[in-house]
Amino acid sequence: MKLSLLFFAVSMLLVLLQTTFLHLLPLGPVVPDLILVLCVYWGLYYPNVAAVLGSFALGYSVDVVSSPILGLNAFAMSLVFLIVYLSSRSIWLHNPLISAIVVFLASLVKGAALVLVWAVFLSMEGLWTGAARYIIMEALVAAFLAPFVFGLLRRGQSYLEQIRVTTE
Amino acid sequence: MLAFLRKNQVLLSSGFCLLLSLYILTAAARGHLKQDPVGPILLWLMRPLQIAAQAATGWIKEIDQRYATVAGFRTENDRLRKRIQELEVERNKLLEAQATNQHLQQLLEFRSHLPSGSITASIIGNSASSWFQSCLLDKGSADGIRKGMAVVTPLGVVGQVVSTTSRSAKVLLITDANSGVDVLVQRTRARGIVSGSLENVTIMKYVKRSEDIQEGDRLITSGLDGVFPKGLMVGTAVKVRKQSLGLFQYVEVMPAVSSAQIEEVLVVGGEPSQAKN
């Protein structure tokens, strides 16, 4: 229960960060996709139904606050979660480098999913050439930040675990 | 059966979410999704947090700006530096007050030239994704803002309202790849459509090769799209290229308004009419 509340609070915080403070970073048009990092974290370490719904809800939140059409990011995040979950069965090493690589690949999957769905529902000229730059930049930024976000989430969890042990 | 469901619950729920999002996408794309039941609640929850965060962002920007101003005086002695800092703080406050006053006066004056029913609103959030250029306003349908209304400042066009809740509104900026503003070249009256692109440049599309357009030409709204009043500044042509093939010229545009630098906007209601720019 406490863990779910922690993840809910973190989700709200990440959506808030992505709509406000992260725009202050000198990264040009790229906004670090911490929401994707959280979905990957869930896919790797908490593959359960709540995490599936959480990934969908996070994508939907991004759609509500910024996407011109609902469902784009909800689809992409759900897909990312599913792929990370399926591949997590084969990932035995858990260190910062591996997490960064997984996030990088997940970001590429998300970008490709967005472009594909975009091409189907919102036809646009020069979509692929413009998108390629975004996908790679976003993936690099997300991969760079992933070890830090993973570390913070693990700390939050172990703090909750300590509280649980002391109260018992 | 129950054991199968339990064993594959993550896979099944993921599949369900994927199908649900595709259903939402299809319904939204076809315009069948008239009311989003969850979005307004989420925006309602986020609104106070976003307002607070935006205030903190403004504070951080101010600190950053102040630091940059003071950085030039590092080599001077301590007394002068302290004095300069004090004066700088005071000056910033005065300049901020003066700028706010001037800005609000401009808004008031500009508002009188727009169709009646124009609404002043503040920007409380930006896009959460690099893929979309949008922002959130602190006013919504309860304040009279409706989908399709134009969002402008005295400097020029900002974008268009794409969705509203009772207390907030989402604006698609003209720099977004999905937006389009019908414009005229002020000097020659050549027509085109200004739109964003994923390559982070704003372009003017569908300008015939035969049309006379030069770098530095001002682009204004034509009023023909039924959204933006005629005569509002949209931007300036900064790069004009006639490609070897094709019917149209390539025109790159510098938007008149940078969304990063605006805090207040006017949401234009009523029938579009000619604006004095």
- Pick from A29, A81, A124: CB nearest B200: A29
Tell me: the pLDDT tens digits for A133-150?
A: 888 888 999 999 999 999
Q: For chain B, what is the mean pLDDT?
A: 84
- Give me the mean pLDDT over the B204-218 stretch: 89
With beta carbons under 8 A apart, name residues in chain A contacting B10: 47-49, 51-52, 85
Q: What's the Cα-to-Cα distance from B1 to each of B5, B6, B8, B15, rounded to whole Å?
A: 6, 9, 11, 18
Average confidence (pLDDT) over B180-200: 89
| Nearest CB to B53; choose among A16, A61, A129 | A16
Q: Are A104 and A139 in contact (CB under 8 A)?
A: yes
Distance CA B143, CA A57 (A): 28
Q: What's residue B275's pLDDT?
A: 45
Instruction: List the beta strands (DSSP E) in A30-154.
Output: none
How would you label B5-43 residue by residue, b for 16+ Cβ within 10 Å and e otherwise?
eeeeebeebbeebbebbbebbeebbeeebeebeebbebb
Q: CB–CB of B127 and A66 under 8 A? A: yes
Instruction: Please check the confidence at residue B270 and state whether its pLDDT lies above 60.
Output: no
The pLDDT score that the predictor gives to residue B126 is 85
Partnered with residue B194 across adjacent β-strands are B181, B204
**Number of cross-chain residue pairs from A and B with Cβ atoms under 8 Å apart:** 170
Q: What is the mean pLDDT of residues A150-164?
A: 85
A121·B29 Cβ contact <8 A: yes
Work out the end-to-end distance of chain A between its first and last CA atoms, rounded to an integer number of angstroms: 15
* pLDDT tens sequence across B60-76: 888 877 777 776 566 56
Q: What angle do CA A62, B146, B161 make, to 5 degrees?
A: 45
Mean pLDDT in chain A?
85
CA–CA gap between residue B146 and residue B162 (Å, rounded): 8
- Residues of A in Cβ contact (< 8 Å) with B25: 69-72, 75, 117, 121
Taking residues A26-42, what's their average pLDDT? 87
Instruction: Let me know: does A32 contact A141? Beta carbons within 8 Å.
Output: yes
Using pLDDT thresholds of 50, 70 and 90, give the confidence band for residue B78.
Answer: confident
Which of A21, A63, A109 should we substitute to test contact with B (largest number of B Cβ atoms within 10 Å)?
A63
Nearest chain A Cα to B48, which residue? Answer: A16
B273 confidence band (pLDDT: 50, 70, 90): very low
- Residue type for position A65: V
- Distances, alpha carbon A95 to alpha carbons A92, A150, B119, in Å: 10, 10, 53
- The average pLDDT across B43-55 equals 83
Q: How far is CA B95 from CA B50, B69, B100, B213, in A?
A: 26, 14, 8, 39
Note the pLDDT of residue B274.
Answer: 46
How many residues does the structure list for chain B? 277
CA dist., res. B180 & res. B193, Å (int): 6
C-alpha dihedral, B73 to B79 to B80 to B86, nearest 10°: 90
**Subunit contact B130:A137, Cβ cutoff 8 A:** yes
Q: How far is B127 from chain A (nearest CA, A)?
A: 5
CB contact under 8 A, A134 and B198: yes
Chain A residues closer than 8 Å to B260 by CB? 23
Q: Residues of B numbered 145-174 whose beta carbons fall under 8 angstroms of chain A's beta carbons: which are they?
A: 162, 170, 172
Would you call B193 an interface residue with chain A, using a CB distance cutoff of 8 Å?
no
pLDDT at position A134, please? 81
Residues 6+ apart with CB under 8 A from B22: A71, A75
The pLDDT > 70 percentage for chain A reads 93
Report the pLDDT averaged over residues B193-213. 88
Please enumerate in sequence order all residues whose Cβ is within 8 A of that of A119, keeping only pairs 6 or more positions apart, or say none: A127
Considering CB atoms only, which of A31, A61, A131 is closest to B198?
A131
* Rounded-to-integer distance, Cα B90 and Cα B255, Å: 33
Mean pLDDT value of segment B243-267? 85
* Tens of pLDDT, residues B135-178: 999 999 999 999 889 999 888 899 999 999 989 999 999 999 88
Please tell me the least confidently modeled range out of A66-80, B129-143, B212-226, B256-270. B256-270
Burial per residue of B156-184, b for 16 or more beta-carbon CB atoms within 10 angstroms, e otherwise = bbbbbbbbbbebbbbbbbbbbbbbbbbbb
pLDDT-derived band at A54 (thresholds 50, 70, 90) equals very high
The yes-or-no verdict on residue A39 having pLDDT over 90 is yes
Task: Assess whether pLDDT exceeds 90 at residue A130.
Answer: no
Section B238-263 average pLDDT: 85
Pick from B9, B23, B29: which is nearest to A49 by CB? B9
Write down the pLDDT at residue B272: 45
The answer to whether ipTM exceeds 0.90 is no
pLDDT given for residue B72 in this prediction: 59
Confidence check: pLDDT of B134 > 50: yes
Closest CA–CA distance from residue B80 to any residue of chain A (Å): 31
Residue A164, pLDDT score: 75
pLDDT at A93: 65
Question: Per the CB < 8 Å rule, is B43 touching A79?
Answer: no
What is d(CA A87, CA A81) in angstroms, rounded to the nearest whole number?
Answer: 10
Say which of A35, A47, A74 has its CB closest to residue B21: A74
Nearest-angstrom CA–CA distance, B240 and B208: 12
- Cα–Cα distance, A155 to A161 (Å, whole number): 10
What's the CA dihedral at A65, A67, A70, A73 to 10 degrees? Answer: -100
**Which residue among A71, A78, A122 sits closest to B14, beta carbon to beta carbon?**
A78
Chain A residues near residue B14 by CB distance under 8 angstroms: 52, 78, 81-82, 85
- pLDDT band at residue A79 under the 50/70/90 scheme: very high
- Examine the pLDDT at B200 and tell me if it is beyond 60: yes
| Rg of the Cα atoms in chain B | 23
Q: Which of residues 50-79 of B touch A (CB under 8 A)?
A: 50, 53-54, 56-57, 60-61
Q: How far apart are CA B141 and CA A152, in angstroms?
A: 39
B49 has a pLDDT exceeding 60: yes
- Which structure tokens are listed for B41? 């609640």
